[in-house]
Amino acid sequence: MRRLTLFAFVLTLVVVVLGAYTRLTDAGLGCPDWPGCYGFNYVPSSAQEHDVAALRFPDKPVEFIKARNEMVHRYAAGTLGITILLMALWSLRTANRRYRVLTWGLLALVCGQATLGMLTVTLNLLPFVVMGHLLGGFTLLALLFWLLMRTGNRQAVYRGSEVGGCLLLGLMALLLQIALGGWTAANYAAMACVELPVCQGDWLNQWQWSAFHPHGVPAESYQYGVLSAAERITIHVTHRLWAVVTALILFALAWRLWRQPLLRRWGVLLALGVMLQLTLGVANVVLHLPLPVAVAHNAGAALLLLTLTGVAERVWYAREGVWLEARYFPHVGA
């Protein structure tokens, strides 16, 4: 059970990184249909296959590299779906009710992710769908990490409640920041600001709340973005400003974790992760969004979420232990 969960977790991390790579190489529409590619179950490569693809999609010629990136992502995601299905079926043989509930919930989430993947193509990269697909991938990754920790060896855990409120605040701030990052990428606003620390001079007077409309500007295709320059600046600046707020909250949480001996390593990991993520964000602007740095920035967000998930599981498990002790061993507390 644990090995299967570990394989699913690692594969999900790969799928998340591949999704970022696909998006950043503008390969989201590398295959204009779904789940195949130009009507094939693989990337058409021969001249004859290209002719067939041209007949099927005359307005969308085959770009082999983009189609390959898209199909590799789909193959990995399909393998992940099969793996989680096996986990759900295997859970029927176990007596662990929580494991069954979690695995079948994961299967439902994967089905939702597949639907969003289809809509990403059929709706031509509608930003709201693209952002939802990204958030679904991060949610799946965090839940699998939670499940992986739950199936691991139990050790002494934190017993207090000092970090609970700050942890919840940190999770909410980070999730909003990830959503803003997804919205920035979906609307091609990553390079709307190429200066630090300001953005294109007087950005405040260019502020446009319409930049956050869930459906955006009606268009046949949303590839390369359809919003105005002012709207993209608004999105980019919001992502920057909230990154500062999120970093301050997470640094405060890291300090509180450092003060707890059994959670100290999580605090160190969180602080290092925040500093790395801020560095990658600055590098994206200064170096004009190089592909390796941009992919690493996406992976860094995933690692921060995993760190907070790990802390949350430790605190949750500790509180479960306190509740069980109070119920079955009330004399211990006395």
Cα gap 174→176, rounded to integer Å: 5
Query: Once rounded to an integer, what is the mean pLDDT over residues 215-222?
Result: 78
Which helix (H) or strand (E) segment holds residue 324: the answer is helix 291-328
Catalytic residues: 70
pLDDT at 160 over 90: no
Predicted confidence at residue 333, as pLDDT, reads 43
Q: What is the pLDDT of residues 264-294, one digit of tens each?
A: 999 999 999 999 999 999 999 999 999 999 9
Query: Once rounded to an integer, what is the mean pLDDT over residues 322-326?
Result: 39
Using DSSP, state whether 114 is helix, strand or coil: helix
Query: Once rounded to an integer, what is the mean pLDDT over residues 66-82?
Result: 96
Q: What DSSP assignment string belongs to 157-184?
A: -----TTHHHHHHHHHHHHHHHHHHHHH
Average pLDDT over the chain reads: 88
| CA 258 to each of CA 116, 159, 188, 264, 334: distance values in angstroms, whole numbers, following the listed order | 39, 15, 38, 4, 29
Cα gap 25→312, rounded to integer Å: 34
pLDDT at 323 over 50: no
Please choose, from the candidates 281, 206, 203, the residue with its C-alpha nearest in 3D space to the C-alpha of residue 242: 281
Residue 161's CB: how many other CB atoms inside 10 A?
A: 11
Predicted confidence at residue 332, as pLDDT, reads 41
At 199, the pLDDT band (50, 70, 90 cuts) reads confident
* Domain boundaries along the sequence of the chain: 1-153, 155-334
Predicted confidence at residue 2, as pLDDT, reads 85
Interior/surface letters 243-256, b for 16+ CB within 10 angstroms, e for the rest? beebbebbeebbeb
Q: Which residue has the higher pLDDT, 163 or 34?
A: 34
